[in-house]
């Protein structure tokens, strides 16, 4: 019995030596567990200019800002003390601009550009699908483009204007990388689609996104009384 026990112990030692032992993974130099990468909008002013659409006047332009040390996502936007400030205001210390909205009008015509950049693209496609579905439920019709060079995902939707057979509203929902946006144009039928596509091209070309490493916090801000965003792309109403 003693002899058999010694044989079993010897076999166990041999087998243990054949097993791969995990190698110690060295962390990068200066690694910090609470360091995160966040994104922000580099543009400090409006994306569109008066030269882009002569005759239209800027009626409102705001920035969406968020604490820079908390990762902002579609799902957490509403609880991260995200606020709306006028474009003319300075972004407060400790905050970053992660989006913007600007509206223009001329007589009874109207242009809108709204955009947000998040720190990751989770739920981006789901949000586009849901928003497009809601527009369709409210009477908008999907519009297919015959030919397009857009690599971004876009939905083109159109709706007639009550008591105006010569006008319609074109909405374009777009998403790429971690950017989610919306273009809205109310104009004559032959211009609304043309103008909305022009705004989309301008936004894609001019919207610049930067990155920065910050020390994250586990504290969540309290939503502000004035200007707090909800998680919807329709959270801002241009007055």
Question: Is 239 exposed, middle or buried (CB count within 10 Å of its CB: 0-12, 13-18, 19+)?
Answer: exposed
CB 170 within 8 A of CB 181: no
Confidence band (pLDDT; 50, 70, 90) for 24?
A: low
Kindly state whether residue 21 falls inside one of the protein's structural domains: no
Kindly state whether residue 16 falls inside one of the protein's structural domains: no
Whether residue 124 has pLDDT greater than 60: yes
Kindly state whether residue 25 falls inside one of the protein's structural domains: no
Q: Which domain holds residue 114?
A: 37-215
The residue to which tokens 């009550």 are assigned: 162
pTM of this prediction? Answer: 0.78
- Nearest 10 degrees: Cα torsion 61, 39, 71, 115: 30
Please provide the DSSP assignment of 109-122 as one string.
EEEEEEEEE-SS-T
Least confident of 105-109, 135-139, 146-150, 222-226: 222-226
What digits encode the pLDDT tens for the residues 150-206?
A: 999 999 999 999 999 999 999 999 999 999 999 999 999 999 999 999 999 999 999
Q: Show the tokens assigned to 232.
A: 């919807």
Using alpha carbons, select from 70, 89, 95, 92 the residue that is nearest to residue 80. Answer: 70
Confidence band (pLDDT; 50, 70, 90) for 225?
A: very low
Kindly state whether residue 91 falls inside one of the protein's structural domains: yes
Cα atoms in the 13 Å half-sphere on the side-chain side of 223: 11
Q: How many domains does the chain have?
A: 1
CATH number of the domain bearing residue 101: 3.40.1000
Kindly state whether residue 224 falls inside one of the protein's structural domains: no
Whether residue 238 has pLDDT greater than 70: no
What are 43-46's contacts with CB under 8 Å, separation 24+? 43/100, 43/206, 43/207, 43/208, 44/97, 45/87, 46/87, 46/100, 46/102
What digits encode the pLDDT tens for the residues 188-199?
A: 999 999 999 999
Kindly state whether residue 53 falls inside one of the protein's structural domains: yes
The distance from CA 181 to its chain's CA centroid, rounded to whole angstroms, is 7
**Distance (Å) of CA 238 to CA 62, 77, 102, 197:** 9, 20, 8, 21
Kindly state whether residue 19 falls inside one of the protein's structural domains: no
Indicate if the alpha-carbon torsion angle 134, 136, 137, 139 is positive or negative. positive
Kindly state whether residue 71 falls inside one of the protein's structural domains: yes
Residue 125: count other Cβ atoms within 10 Å of its Cβ. 12
């Amino acid at each position: 019995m003693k002899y058999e026990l010694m044989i079993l112990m010897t076999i166990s030692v041999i087998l243990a030596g054949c097993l791969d032992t995990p190698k110690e993974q060295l962390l990068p130099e200066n690694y910090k567990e609470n360091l995160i990468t966040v994104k922000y909008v580099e543009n400090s002013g409006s994306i569109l200019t008066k030269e882009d659409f002569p005759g239209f006047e800027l009626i409102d332009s705001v920035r969406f800002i968020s604490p820079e040390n908390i990762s902002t996502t579609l799902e957490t936007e509403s609880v991260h003390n995200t606020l709306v400030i006028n474009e003319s205001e300075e972004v407060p210390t400790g905050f970053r601009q992660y989006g913007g909205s600007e509206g223009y009008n001329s007589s009874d015509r109207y242009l809108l550009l709204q955009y947000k950049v998040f720190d990751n693209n989770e739920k981006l496609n789901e949000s586009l699908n849901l928003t497009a579905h809601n527009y369709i439920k409210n009477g908008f019709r999907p519009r297919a483009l015959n030919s397009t060079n857009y690599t971004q995902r876009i939905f083109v939707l159109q709706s007639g204007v009550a008591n105006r057979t010569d006008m319609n509203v074109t909405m374009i929902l777009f998403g790429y990388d971690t950017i989610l946006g919306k273009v809205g144009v109310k104009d004559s039928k032959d211009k609304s689609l043309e103008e909305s596509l022009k705004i989309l091209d301008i936004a894609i070309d001019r919207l610049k996104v930067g990155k920065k490493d910050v020390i994250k916090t586990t504290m969540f801000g309290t939503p502000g009384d004035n200007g707090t965003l909800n998680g919807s792309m329709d959270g801002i109403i241009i007055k």
